[in-house]
Amino acid sequence: MSTVNVYKQRPDAAHAESPLFHAGLHELAGKGKSTAGVVLREKKLLGHLTLRGDGHDAAFAGAVHKITGLELPGALGLVVKGETSLQWLGPDEWLLIVPGGTEFAIEQKLREALVGQHYQAVNVSGGQTIVELSGPKVRELLMKSTSYDVHPRNFPVGKAVGTVFAKSQLVIRHTGEDTWELVVRRSFADYIWLWLQDASAEYGLAIEA
């Protein structure tokens, strides 16, 4: 094992609040129109780990594959298997998202598998959250929120880009035909939540718990 202290950021007994806790999404669930063009769901309290290392190094890529079961994706790539996903953030940086509660064990396993290598693994679960948008009007919502081209020709399923969004910055992930995910930092979460409500007003917004 390395000499790094690994902390369990969310002890089982503790009460955790997602970045959108204050919005009370569970109380809004089911109150929107059934014909809403945009359906919003917060995938809250998942385990987020950022991994850094040399992706061309077989030892690093192999260790990550052994623990996560996923190959390191190349530029702007996103690979998903069940509830685990691995996303390219930069030439030497990836975002690993795992089911909530497993991040502590997975981080420790990664550290064991990567021992002796030049790498970094950081648990950033508390710092960001995922907002999932689905529905027929999501692409139009994105089109007026970001300057990035979200047409399927340029932004196919399985692509993920960090870009400007509203007057802020976040990561957009295209996970299904009409399904998109936004990786939102905690400090921007309230702003993005207000922006999404305003921007989706003309299409109708429904909240899923």
Residues engaged in binding another protein (CB under 8 A) = 75-76, 89-91, 93, 147-148, 161-164, 169
In angstroms, give the least distance from the CB of 93 to another protein: 8
Cite the DSSP H helix spans in 37-153: 58-68, 103-113, 138-143
In angstroms, give the least distance from the CB of 92 to another protein: 9
How distant, in Å, are the alpha carbons of 32, 133, 144, 186, 209 from that of 28? 8, 15, 24, 20, 8
In angstroms, give the least distance from the CB of 18 to another protein: 24
How distant, in Å, are the alpha carbons of 47, 54, 78, 185 from that of 19? 14, 31, 23, 8
In angstroms, give the least distance from the CB of 87 to another protein: 12
| Residue number with CB closer to another protein (148 or 203) | 148
| Residue number with CB closer to another protein (104 or 119) | 119
Residue 30 has, within 13 A of its CA and on its CB side, a CA count of 3
Residue 3 exposed, middle or buried by CB count within 10 Å (0-12, 13-18, 19+)? exposed
In angstroms, give the least distance from the CB of 148 to another protein: 7
Cα(96)–Cα(57) distance, integer angstroms: 18
**Distance, first Cα to last Cα, the chain:** 40
| Residue number with CB closer to another protein (29 or 124) | 124
Place of tokens 């081209």: 149
Q: Which candidate, 149, 135, 123, places its Cα nearest to that of 180? A: 135
| Residue number with CB closer to another protein (77 or 136) | 77
| Residue number with CB closer to another protein (164 or 201) | 164
Q: Which candidate, 71, 119, 124, places its Cα nearest to that of 98? A: 124
In angstroms, give the least distance from the CB of 100 to another protein: 26
| Residue number with CB closer to another protein (29 or 76) | 76
